[in-house]
Structure 1
Amino acid sequence: MKPTLAALSLAAITAASTLVTGTASAADDPIVIKFSHVVAENTPKGQMALKLQELVEERMGDRVVVEVYPNSQLFGDDKVLEAMQLGDVQLAAPALSKFGRYTKKLALFDLPFLFEDLDAVDRFQQSEAGQELLTSMEKKGLIGLGYLHSGLKQFSSNEPLRVPEDAAGMKFRIMSSEVLEAQFKAVDATPLKKPFSEVFTLLQTKAIDGQESPWSNTYTKKFFEVQPYITESNHGLLDYMVVTSAEFWNGLPDDLRAELKAAIDEAVTYGNQVARDKDLDYRQKIVDSGRTEIITLTPEERAQWLQAMKPVWEEFEDEIGAELIDAAYASNRGN
């Protein structure tokens, strides 16, 4: 028996009603933002991510949900940017060294002995030149939303490091960075690119002789427990860029994007203050542990390290840009 015209009309109306209801329901679902990072929750980056989650829940909970995945639970820093471009993660904060395939300019932040302290870093990052770097990868599908501090880096090692000659022949874990590779080669050491999640085991088994990290990572990842010496060199910067995909970010409604950016800015400011507050605290905890000896360089010893590593600036001047290097160096108080 064929359906009547009335029955067909009723079926069409029901189908249309279901479609509209489903669309409305989907539109009402909050946007889920997966924030993937590689460090512990009690680090400055970990605290920043949790602060963002809290702020978004308070202000945008019915429209946006931030899910935080620390300790490489979703992706390591070597894979997270690819995952982001595939839409598998919406926020990340990789080390600035991880962006080499997207832009060479961010290698600036890996140059050894470029910044004398975090105040100089802040001055440069908030300058016009520093802010322009955040959007330098948009054509490659990535947008930077802010700079996040971890801190200035120290060397840890199986043998004491006081002068550059002490590093000769030693194997150091580095992030994937041509600048960091050149930095260790400048002192006749062997740089090995290894995932951050593997560093403790590599140190524990003596597969590598040392690594470089700020106090926060050295303490929270327990590197100090398997390294008898830490040289307080403050030789480099470990900072992160809070980053998202251009497709995701530009696809957000204008008002929601502005509100989310404000929450990110606030969380980054909070994370950077945590980095400053925690820096000396983590250092003191390492001292109190008695597990490792902290070597403080004399001005003369530090000058030797600077002299040995500063040629790396010139080596990467063409890729980074001499004007950019000069602008960063000028952020130091003495310039």
Structure 2
Amino acid sequence: MKRSIFGIAAAAILATSSFGADYVMKISHVVSSSTPKGMAADYLEKRIEELTAGKIDVQVFPNSQLYGDADEMKALAMNNVQLIMPSLSKFPSIVPQIQLFDLPFLFRDKDHLYKVMDGEVGAKLKSYVDAKKQMKAFDYWDAGFKHFSSSKKAILNPEDAKGQKFRIQSSKVLEAQFKAVGGNPQILPFSEVYSALQQGVVDATENPLSNFYTKKFNEVQSSLTLSSHGYLGYLVVMNQQFWDKLPKDLQEKVSIAMKEATEFERKATEEDDAKIMAGLKKYAEESKRLEIFELNKEQIANWRKVMEVIYPEFYDVIGEDLIKKAIETK
């Protein structure tokens, strides 16, 4: 209740500063302003206001100041906020096809990922979002590739996963992924993962480097495998009613600012990953408590061969054509 009252008060105060603007765009997100996503939201604010010469007053609310993770989609649909950037995991209930991004070893590398997201497949998925709940989908932002970690046995080959208890978020794709290699998937809230790893409730997990490092999983895992086997990202979405009210010239300027912010966010995530990797290598060397491995081409080929077996299980849900087009994207 306190957060809600604060959010309403903050919105009222900031609304008074929008005098002279033709439109007010509130951006709500749930992370710190110092994260790549948070910095990109601030960059987007700056560029929209510059390009529209102040005709759009953009107000950014970080750290769930207005709405928490569970409420921001509803707030957007009601036009209480005009722009959010939820994780892709928030969309399968309304657009099950977006689980494409959960498929393991689907993307060959970051270049392939971006070509899928920014090409025909990504556009198709965004069109499904556009058809739902008064949302207009813009661009995909990065959280990063996921990597395996374990306190039981380093996960280098598919057989290394056998018998290990893996923490996963709720996802049929991720359940099938670990069952395919003899693992035991366990659904747990992210807030409980550290203690679960510490107490041996689960042995292993998958995370982008930022989650692994900031949540100090390196303290409770003995190995980290740079597998890049899966992907975590965000989708930037705007309230359709707000977008439709903007004149065409302002829509064009917002679109330009969005493309610039997307490039900014992806670069910031890459730079953040590089800093984190340097920190993890230093920790591993000094503590002798963590080993870091990188899969070679042969190992990746073995993993892909085993994991591709689950793709047909999701042809009806995701779409066989979308999966095959993603694989074939050059």
| TM-score by shorter chain over 0.5 | yes
Cα drift, residue 201 of structure 1: 4.7
Partner of 2:60: 67
Task: Indicate yes or no: 2:138 matched with 1:145.
Answer: yes
Cα drift, residue 243 of structure 1: 1.4
Counterpart-to-counterpart distance in 1, 2:192 and 2:24: 33
Normalising by structure 2, we get a TM-score of: 0.81
Q: 1:293 aligns with which of 285, 291, 294?
A: 291
Equivalent residue letter for 1:36: H
The answer on whether the counterparts of 2:210 and 2:273 sit within 8 Å (CA) in structure 1 is: yes
Q: Deviations over 1:273-323 (max 9, x none)?
A: 222333333212111122521122344433332233211211111222222
Task: Indicate yes or no: 2:211 matched with 1:217.
Answer: yes
What pairs with 1:79-98 in structure 2 (closer than 5 Å)? 79-98=71-90
Counterpart-to-counterpart distance in 2, 1:115 and 1:245: 30
Normalising by structure 1, we get a TM-score of: 0.80
What pairs with 1:1-335 in structure 2 (closer than 5 Å)? 31-37=24-30, 39-60=31-52, 61=54, 63-70=56-63, 72=64, 74-75=66-67, 77-141=69-133, 142-159=135-152, 160-290=154-284, 292-332=290-330
Counterpart-to-counterpart distance in 2, 1:79 and 1:167: 36
Unaligned runs of 5+ in 1: 1-24
The answer on whether the counterparts of 1:43 and 1:220 sit within 8 Å (CA) in structure 2 is: no
Cα gap change, 1:230 to 1:312, in 2 (>3 Å): same
Equivalent residue letter for 1:63: I
The SS at the match of 1:321 is helix
Q: How many residues align?
A: 306
Counterpart-to-counterpart distance in 2, 1:127 and 1:308: 27
Q: Comparing 92-101 with 61-70, which one deviates more in the overlay? A: 61-70
Alignment RMSD (CA, Å): 2.8
Larger Rg: 1
Q: Which runs of 4+ in 1 moved over 6 A?
A: none
The answer on whether the counterparts of 2:150 and 2:223 sit within 8 Å (CA) in structure 1 is: yes
Counterpart-to-counterpart distance in 1, 2:173 and 2:313: 9
Equivalent residue letter for 1:239: G
The answer on whether the counterparts of 2:48 and 2:56 sit within 8 Å (CA) in structure 1 is: no
The SS at the match of 1:113 is coil
The answer on whether the counterparts of 1:107 and 1:320 sit within 8 Å (CA) in structure 2 is: yes
Equivalent residue letter for 1:218: F
Unaligned runs of 5+ in 2: 1-17
The SS at the match of 2:131 is helix
